[in-house]
Structure 1
Amino acid sequence: MKSLVISWLLRIVIAVILMQTLYFKFTGAAESIYIFNTLVMEPCGRISSGVLELVASILILIPRATLLEELLGFGVMNGALLSPVFVLGIELQGDCGTLFIMALITFLCCSVLVYQNRNKTPNLLKLKL
């Protein structure tokens, strides 16, 4: 029971963070345009990452699709974590690292869910931890 509650709390945290960032990506907020211009991926990268995050935020709330979302979340969050470290910088336009911290929280929540569900995955994807 405790595991189920933790699982749902993590799913909700992931969904809320991903859905919150969608507004900025899909409306072309200045910060999003700055990020993707710096990465030389504007507008295609901004829109496609927004679509991936939208799909992930929906799938995370469907228990049978959790593994797919977790893996999708890993991929999206890897980009969200690696681009600030290697290209953008942790702090973007005076945000005190808020976007980076949200990406890190999402990545960690996905990590916990993957670990929690490691025995439910197909043999090809089983993690030996």
Structure 2
Amino acid sequence: MSSPPGPPTNRAPSNTDLETTVAELKQVVETFVDERDWHRFHNPKNLVMSLAIETAELMEHFQWLTPDQSTRIMEDPDTRTAVGEEVADCLAYLLALANKLDIDLAPTLRAKMIRNAEKYPIDNNEFTHK
């Protein structure tokens, strides 16, 4: 969490985001993997490598853009779909990894954000513009 913050979105989460739990998302991924008998391939090493590959595919959409262009990337409907699919692929691999390693994501993220807040206090934020 050492990069500068992006522009504020000022958007409320969608109703779907508000109504869907992390557990439900983890179950969607687990069901998908089960139905295809992919557990034999889903070891932590393969999942982390797959996540890195999907992250690289997401990065391709931003590779040659200026910072300003990158903030407007979702204005094009086709690009919005493509970027959304790559983000979903990244999330699916993160959820599969959490399933495989039995990581309870909500408390793990909350604990990490507390440590991040201690490491990067608001009053000592080099990226804060006043």
| Higher helix fraction (1 or 2) | 1
TM-score, length of structure 1 as denominator length: 0.41
TM-score, length of structure 2 as denominator length: 0.40
